Structure 1
């Protein structure tokens, strides 16, 4: 950004400062560590100067918000025009209880809903299945049929809210249920706004709630892309997730590299299925983690935006700038929350949320202080929401766009993360793409190695976690935690029985057979899933048809 004469002058001044000022200070008072590192283990230099950003071209690599390469944000005015969506993630027990929580959050100023589903729902089993015992409603809401979805959104007009659903393997089924609820409310599919996670590759990598093998899973995803591009045009058809990759222990650069590699795989699959890139790419969205290292996280978000823009333009030859925008949701880092001194989590979450905002997120969920112990209480989730509202209303950080841009440190770290992430993408390309790299266990092993290193740093006290390995206090057992009543499983089982007794079972059988035939062929399965949902076929029944045809995925064993 500076000419050679100016850089030479800066270099001379730095060397003079080091010799006459810095070295004398270090002789009297050495620094506390031999080497300072970020949360991800990257070296952090003592001082950053224009020398560290000398190779960066401002116009080409930093630029302006709302313009390629989008380093400074997707929108020209960012938060001066509209705050990020405060999308609080919630769901537990029954649809009735979760509906109450959603209405409460909306009344308190939440501007978007985000649905957490229980484990049986996530892996395509009804609540009365033997494998669902003890898990119904525990980590999210149980959804077995359209009846549950109707209750979940009772009194919540779907043409007025934006809804995100954290669902992957059975994403097509839950999306169909949402569309059907909209129909019952008189809201046509073209007016629905929201996102389904629908990111199966990261399930194979880091999370484990997969059902079907890679190929049919990618087919389901591209079927959703195609269907929504025509029928549900305002819907974000995938949220390509780095969040769970980071939760599993990756570094910041790995989170970007592996997530964008997954994104590349989805784009390639859609193009192979005959879709034009500019038809579906504008509805792709991403989901990132905001970890503890504030400056590294800001740089990570900026690097991800710039790198994705380049990939879409140079690799896939997208013509629309909307196809090049990396729009993302952020959640604060659940893996950093501690059961010890849980009130400390309020401060952690505030710093992580600040990083997400400074990094230009489009929507944000803030974790609650008690989530290391249980699902959040109403009081805890209120504090989490107020954290976002205080950042938006009181701190002044939304007054100007990308306020840390131009910082020698931030720009240098942005470039460093971008370059390292691109190295991972190139390695994955050499292995044959993300799906092949997953089958070989490469991505999983990289994350595992990083997680092990991080944990060893905590155990050796090279990394301090307040209240865990330093500054401990004696604590009483926590009180007032939210517990899901085990009777929820029985209630859901009765609800399923009632639905099956009241529905037209001949029609259900016919719709499921039509779905089976579609799965065996090459048609888009979304219309057939929607037809089955409308007749109150259950999630488990629909997923079992697909299990019968597609089979189930078996995870690679890492050696």
Structure 2
């Protein structure tokens, strides 16, 4: 392997001297330099901390702590049973309840999760995909109980099912009915919750699965293009629904390659939306959230991760992100402790308020190196998108296994480079040392499942079960039509139908993807 090369295989020249004419301005098509004319000079990015574990009450305590520490928006992690549509008392949920996120079975759990938090006054991001339609319905139902004006409700559901088939695995239904749920959400929210971001098209998990920066860019934008085409096929107006699409990218350690990726992404998305008929500039803008790279964190010498996260934070902010989550230094070992979460948030705050990064728009613009990298990233990503288009688009490329194979090859190549020393990971394959004492581990007790099971039993005993069954049967019947499912799902959760019951009603119609 050549010594001076990025993780995506782009050769780095010893010096860049070719002047780059900078005709573009931020806030103008194709938005290479940023989607707003003034970017962070007027308002910093939204500082989020991804959190969720154990019961809703435990997560609620962490949210209040983070809000006191200065987070600007909440970001909810859900446990595995919630992600794949099982209630906490289901046999498939055993051993997983509350482990990688919070357990949410019903509207009562949602009330506990946001106790003391006024939904109309906070922006909430929910990392949920296959059951995203149910969690959104729960959030809307709770907002209604709080007396909120739904037109003012703001936040995001990830709702990106295509990357689940390609990289992550928490899907339930086959691709086609899953795409139908997504377009139902687009249509429903454009009418009822117009400020809500209806999808966060995720390159993050594609990168975590082993993709390089070029692949992350190409596969994510291809998925985005597929969502646009699906919505257009349903008769939706791209100038309306595309304004509520957002993206979710990873930030890894190669500072300049990451900045170039974000700049290229904006330019490419502007061209994709325009080619599909978008004429409104807000429908052409690529708005994105970033999370620092979980897969870059090491269990060895975990405090080194604080530096890695700081570099990745610089990449995201110099690349023009709209919001950011920074990982805790201990996340290669466990869920983050309170201390680790606070240090991660302080990293954002120091860069936002002390580094000068926010003082000017696109601070690396005009750098011969960064401009060359931006162009190279774009060229290589278009080549990959061309291959996907030739297969019939993202859904077809995933069904044929192309995307999965590309990611697997990239992951294998990277691991080989680490193992043979071509790629240096400080504290792992170079500058390793015997460590004294352990890092504090944040553990979740298995008793959470018992708590949730008892709550479900109490819920089912007090609700109108005849009405619940009627609503579930109606949902099953409606799933066989083309009618929008969202209004009925909102009614179902308001009447104490559980997440697992709603997911099962649709399993009866669509089956499960294998």
If the TM-score is normalised by the length of the shorter chain, which range does it land in?
over 0.9
**Aligned position for 2:432:** 472
Give the secondary structure class of the aligned counterpart of 2:243.
helix
How many angstroms apart in 2 are the aligned matches of 1:47 and 1:445?
35
**Cα distance, 1:479 vs. partner?**
4.1
Find 2:168's aligned residue among 207, 214, 226: 207
Is residue 2:322 matched to residue 1:358? Answer: no
Alignment of 1:69-148 (within 5 A): 69-148=30-109
Give the secondary structure class of the aligned counterpart of 1:425.
helix
Is residue 2:156 matched to residue 1:195? Answer: yes
How many angstroms apart in 1 are the aligned matches of 2:163 and 2:462?
38
**Cα distance, 1:238 vs. partner?**
0.1
Find 1:45's aligned residue among 3, 6, 13: 13
Alignment of 1:252-401 (within 5 A): 252-313=213-274, 315-401=275-361
Q: Deviations over 1:471-513 (max 9, x none)?
A: 1111245242110011001111111111111211111111111
* Conserved 8 A contact 1:39-1:292: no
**Cα distance, 1:39 vs. partner?**
2.3
Q: Greater CA radius of gyration, 1 or 2?
A: 1
**Cα distance, 1:34 vs. partner?**
5.5
Is residue 2:470 matched to residue 1:510? Answer: yes
Give the secondary structure class of the aligned counterpart of 2:450.
helix
How many angstroms apart in 1 are the aligned matches of 2:128 and 2:322?
20
How many angstroms apart in 2 are the aligned matches of 1:34 and 1:44?
10
* Conserved 8 A contact 1:94-1:137: yes
Q: List runs of 5+ in structure 2 lacking aligned partners.
A: none
Find 2:370's aligned residue among 403, 410, 419: 410
**Cα distance, 1:276 vs. partner?**
1.0
How many angstroms apart in 2 are the aligned matches of 1:505 and 1:166?
30
How many angstroms apart in 1 are the aligned matches of 2:510 and 2:58?
35
The range that moved more, 431-440 or 37-46, is 37-46
Give the secondary structure class of the aligned counterpart of 2:74.
strand
TM-score of the aligned structures, taking structure 1 as reference length: 0.91
CA RMSD of aligned residues (A): 1.0
How many angstroms apart in 2 are the aligned matches of 1:499 and 1:35?
61
* Conserved 8 A contact 2:26-2:32: yes
* Conserved 8 A contact 2:22-2:366: no
Find 2:457's aligned residue among 497, 504, 509: 497
How many angstroms apart in 1 are the aligned matches of 2:286 and 2:2?
37
**Cα distance, 1:67 vs. partner?**
0.8
Find 2:498's aligned residue among 526, 530, 538: 538
Q: Deviations over 1:402-441 (max 9, x none)?
A: 0100000000000100111111111100001100000111
Give the secondary structure class of the aligned counterpart of 1:86.
strand
**Aligned position for 1:10:** none
* Conserved 8 A contact 1:136-1:488: yes
Find 1:453's aligned residue among 413, 421, 441: 413
